[in-house]
Amino acid sequence: MGVKIIGLGASVPLKLVTNEELSRVLDTSDEWITTRTGIKRRHHSSSSETTSYLSYKAGVAALRSVTHSDDSDVDTLIVATSTPDRRCPATAPKVAAMLRLGKIRALDINAVCTGFIYALELADALIRSGKSKKLMLIGADVFTTILNKQDRTTYPLFGDAAGAMILTNSDDDNILSTYTGSDGEYENLITIPDGGTESALRPDGVNADVFFRMEGKEVFLKAIAHMKESVSEALNLSGLSKENVDYIVPHQANKRIIDTISQLFELNKDQALMSLEEYGNTSAASIPITLVRHVKVGTIKPGNKIVVTAFGGGITWGAAVLRWPDEKINANVI
Ligand code: COA
């Protein structure tokens, strides 16, 4: 039994914020952000554009994109997010209700920026085991709600977005391998220190540090090392070699990281697909929104072998090898 990709879509908030606009309110510049990261613009949510709302819209876009499918209904929804609508309950049941998917299995997972790869691996296992016949996975984050607007080392890097993919069981196989890993020894590299049980259980119970923090330089090096390892492992598991790869879609955090990864696998620059200049780092939405962009403009073609890879808080990492489906997918960002 194989796992087939039949739908893909994404969503961003209406408000676009350029580097120039950020430079007016922060001690930064278009020149610094562009040369150090490659990011030019990102979208910021308004108060109504929550994680569930962006997830819902991405889900609608994915459902509309399907051109070939049997009649079975979506029976599982996985939302990968580290910025849920509420700490309790999970966001996925709400999104399932908004999408009118019925009383289905619905769960969140949190692997921060690696969330989509973790969700893909879980989705793949649920379908191959026969537990699910048709599944929607969504990567969605509204990082503007956890960033300190005065912190120039994080605020310019992130954008808000959601991306959704629909998978079914099939004789075709579009997921050739998945690989994931983690190392909790490094939880402090990417973190929101307070606001969870650790701070609530302290005698003073103070939530002093509720903003997102990242040790940029160390994360930069670990991201390269672990995405390199992940791509190698996923290729080995798929039985393919780097010469068989048409495109790589790395997590969209920094163009310099993406360039290094493609050099390490001797891929040319056109083979590393990007969307970060337009959307910034959208955390769990980063991989699906990049896929949408390149399916829409026709870069990604049927039969292409694509390696997706990510790195994020936890720390976590992972990769998957995809064979792009033969049937058309009308992918869109709405
Ligand atoms: N505008 C202007 N200057 C800035 C700035 C900004 N937005 N952000 C940082 N700087 C300054 C720093 O204060 C520092 O100044 P100093 O030398 O006077 O101390 C200088 O620029 C260099 O900072 P540094 O942190 O060394 O920059 P960098 O080249 O490492 O780039 C990141 C910073 C965050 C862009 C980069 O480290 C990175 O992309 N890390 C990985 C992120 C990632 O992969 N995340 C994935 C998981 S979410």
- CA-to-CA distance for 9 and 330, rounded, in angstroms? 8
Mean pLDDT, the chain, whole residue set: 97
The one catalytic residue among 43, 226, 251, 294? 251
> How many of the other CB atoms lie within 10 Å of CB of 277?
16
Query: What is the per-residue pLDDT across 21-54, written as a single tens digit (0 to 9) for each?
Result: 999 999 999 999 999 999 999 999 999 999 999 9
Q: Which CATH architecture has domain 176-326?
A: 3-Layer(aba) Sandwich (3.40)
Which residue's C-alpha comes closest to atom 3 of ligand 1?
28
Measured CA to CA, the distance from residue 275 to residue 66 in angstroms comes to 23
Q: What is the pLDDT, as a whole number, of residue 205?
A: 80
Q: What would the two tokens of residue 265 be? A: 């696998």
pLDDT at residue 81 above 90? yes
Residue with tokens 């070939």: 68
The pLDDT tens digits for 3-27 are 999 999 999 999 999 999 999 999 9
For the cut 90, the answer to whether the pLDDT of residue 249 exceeds it is yes
pLDDT at 83 over 90: yes
| pLDDT at residue 68, as a whole number | 87
Q: How confident is the model at residue 173 (pLDDT cuts 50, 70, 90)?
A: very high
| Amino acid symbol at 248 | I
pLDDT tens readout for residues 276-298 = 999 999 999 999 999 999 999 99
Name the CATH topology of 2-172. Answer: Peroxisomal Thiolase; Chain A, domain 1 (3.40.47)
Q: Is the CB of 276 under 6 A from ligand 1?
A: no
Q: Is 59 in the pocket of ligand 1 (CB under 6 A)?
A: no
- Please, are residues 203 and 331 in contact by the beta-carbon 8 Å criterion? no
Omega of the bond leading into 315 within 30 degrees of 0 (cis): yes
With tokens 């309950």, the residue in question is: 89
Average pLDDT (147-171) is: 97
Residue 281 catalytic? Answer: yes
Domain boundaries along the sequence of the chain: 2-172, 176-326
Average confidence (pLDDT) over 120-144: 98
Segment 176-231, tens digit of pLDDT: 999 999 999 999 999 999 999 999 999 888 878 999 999 999 999 999 999 999 99
Do domains 2-172 and 176-326 share one topology? The answer is: yes
Q: Is the pLDDT of residue 140 over 90?
A: yes
- Confidence category of residue 239, pLDDT binned at 50, 70, 90: very high
